[in-house]
Chain A
Amino acid sequence: MHELVASHITFAYASGPPILVDVNAQVACGKLLALVGPNGAGKSTLLRVMCGLMRPQRGKVEFDGASLFSLSSLERARRVAFLPQAVNPTFSLSVFEVVCLGRYPHVGALRTMRQKDHDVVLRCLQETRCDALRARDFSELSGGERQRVLIAAILAQEPDILLLDEPTSLLDLHHQIEVFSLLKRLTREGYGVAVVTHDLNTAARFCDHMLLLSSSVHGVKAEGTPSEVLQESILSEVYETEVKVCPHPITGTPLVTVLDAERYP
């Protein structure tokens, strides 16, 4: 049972104001964590700190009790994988090649792919239902297909923990649900997943735990199960709009809607 724990994180970009102050977060295997909050709340920043891309000024990030920064960068990448908010490739690569790139932490700079690496790549393509795409040019895929391929690529790192920054922001309803179902399935298989999203309702349906970040407190405004976090008073304050929450008629999870105050006072 692996876990990635960030405790008392304080972070500011070079000579900028503090973005995160004394933030705690935890991603455990078998659990799906959602990071939500308004634009600029520091969600991406927290994710980058948690995967060891940036050192916090204060606080520590630990994987199974050992500091993430005590691991070599390749060891780190074999435990924690990170999918950034936007990925823009320079050259055209096939889907298969894109997923092969994910093997880097295992293959290294000088070795070539072995049979085992190939097997992993094929398994990750299957897992994300991308087999049919394997010969396609990555840049010619639709947004949803790209996202699935990118998830396959970070699965190829064979990490324990996945940190994904807005993997569904460009996707239609169907593909959003598909990606979240995939993430849910992965947590059942034993991965620990943290996902940044602006889609509160889908997050409420799928995630086990939720962190609501806000720039007003430089960190976590509310934390808990989706129904504990998604409350009218909290959301109205953080998003600075009138927010209504009612139970979803079918799933019973919180359903968040925004009413404009002029027409529905």
Chain B
Amino acid sequence: MTSRITLGRIALLVLISAGIVLVSLWIGAESLRWEQIQAEWRSGKPITQCPALSILINQRIPRTLAALLAGGTLALVGCAFQALLRNPLATPYTLGVAGAGAFGAFAATVLMEGAAARIGIVGISGVQLAAFLCALLDMAAIYAMAARHPRMSPAVLLLTGVTLGMLANAGILFLRYLAKPNMLVVMDRWLMGGVDVIGYRDIKTLAVGTIPCALVLLLQAAKLDQIGFDVELAAGRGINVRRLQAVTFIVGSLATAIVVSTVGPIGFVGLIVPHSVRALTGSRHRLLMPISLFAGGVFLCMCDIIARKTFVGETPIGIITALFGGPFFLYLLTKRRFVDWEG
């Protein structure tokens, strides 16, 4: 039910978000001043000679865009997977995509000893490519398992995903054991995720990959309402359940793989954001999904601001989302009832 109260709250959310995005452009290791930017803009000098303008354009804007795109995608995929797996605690990583991606990134780092970060094709580094390919491999394995069953049963998807995730983690530990100490720092940094080293090339990869996926997922909203309520009832109402499950699974995993391979496995966004938004909008996906997309981006942006301003200097954003997201989620768990844990 879209009552006036909800619309009012949504308006408030939009205002706060705009504020957060603006702050995100301004705050950082070096805080920018509006007068300085204006002066540099008017001076007409090449951008390399304008320190403030160049920070804004080459660092803050891409970084903010990356947070918006990655956070939004993770939250949206969280919504979709919770309905697909009929489990309110599912996340974009439940199916092992993040673990597989991290394993790929680690493998590339160890095998090529840093060269992988530099070599690459069409602006995508070797590490990113390896992460993406391993995430795809994880998807293909799960899909092959699920397709063997007459109905793509959520339980089979879930168990396969969790098992593959554990396998990937074992692989990661093994690679860490093999790696030279100086590589460990690079590898661990990747695991914590970050939007800090993002340039426009990565933004392009993210945007081209995630925006079409997000559109496809948004178009499934009404159908996700139906399978979230009851699968057989949904089929009786004329929904092709198998096709819906296949589309949601493939597109959601693809979007997650793209995010993981560009910004690393940033946790909790896909879990906390859909839950918090559900408390605001109710469970109808028509409203829940677009607002989660929006709120997920803003949430990650906010976490990134905090990451830049902690007393130890720059903190990896994955740590921030977990440190703030975890307790908040525990709080939500005490407030909200879960209708059906098993699905």
| A interface residues, Cβ below 8 angstroms from B | 14, 51, 53, 72-77, 81-84, 87-94, 96-98, 101-102, 104-105, 107-110, 112, 139, 157
Contact = CB atoms under 8 A, between A and B. Distances in A.
B1 A92 contact: no
Given A51-B236, A77-B238, A112-B286, 12 more contacts: A73-B240, A74-B238, A77-B237, A91-B83, A91-B228, A91-B339, A92-B283, A93-B283, A93-B284, A94-B1, A97-B1, A98-B229
A173 to B, nearest CB: 27
Interface stretch (B219-227, B289-297, B300-308, B326-334): B219-227
Contacts, number: 95
B236 A81 contact: yes
B185 to A, nearest CB: 42
A82 B83 contact: no
B233 interface: yes
A14 B150 contact: yes
Contacts of B219: 109-110
- Most chain A CB within a 10 A radius of its CB, from B221, B236, B240: B236
Nearest to B284: A97
Interface in B222-253: 222-223, 225-226, 228-230, 232-233, 235-240
B35 interface: no
A142 to B, nearest CB: 15
Contacts of B221: 109
Given A84-B232, A84-B233, A112-B286, A92 B222 contact: no
A111 to B, nearest CB: 9
5 contacts: A83-B236, A89-B229, A92-B337, A105-B238, A157-B237
B176 interface: no
Contacts of B225: 101
Nearest to A100: B284
A58 B1 CA distance: 45
Nearest to A14: B150
A264 to B, nearest CB: 41
Contacts of A110: 219, 222
Interface in B178-205: none
A91 B88 contact: yes
B30 interface: no
Closest 10 CB pairs of A and B: A82-B236, A73-B238, A91-B283, A77-B238, A84-B232, A74-B238, A90-B86, A87-B230, A104-B237, A109-B222
A88 B82 CA distance: 15
A93 B222 contact: no
B212 interface: no
B285 to A, nearest CB: 9
Interface of B: 1, 82-83, 86-88, 150, 219-223, 225-226, 228-230, 232-233, 235-240, 278, 282-284, 286, 337, 339-340, 343
B340 A88 contact: yes
Given A89-B229, A104-B239, A94 B282 contact: yes
Contacts of B82: 90-91
Contact of B237 (A87, A102, A139): A102
Contacts of A74: 238
Nearest to B232: A84
Contact of A96 (B1, B88, B283, B340): B1
B235 A53 contact: yes
A92 B278 CA distance: 10
B228 A77 contact: no
Contacts of B343: 90
A112 B285 CA distance: 12
A69 B86 CA distance: 28
A97 B282 contact: yes
Nearest to A74: B238
Contacts of A89: 228-230, 339-340
Contacts of A107: 222
Contacts of A72: 238
Contacts of B150: 14
A90 B87 contact: yes
Nearest to A77: B238
Given A14-B150, A97-B284, A101-B225, A88 B230 contact: yes
A101 B1 contact: no
B236 to A, nearest CB: 4
B286 to A, nearest CB: 7
A76 B240 CA distance: 13
Contacts of A93: 229, 282-284
Contacts of A83: 233, 236
Contacts of A14: 150
B320 to A, nearest CB: 28
A101 B240 contact: no
A90 B221 CA distance: 15
Contacts of B236: 51, 53, 77, 81-84
Contacts of A91: 82-83, 88, 228-229, 278, 283, 339
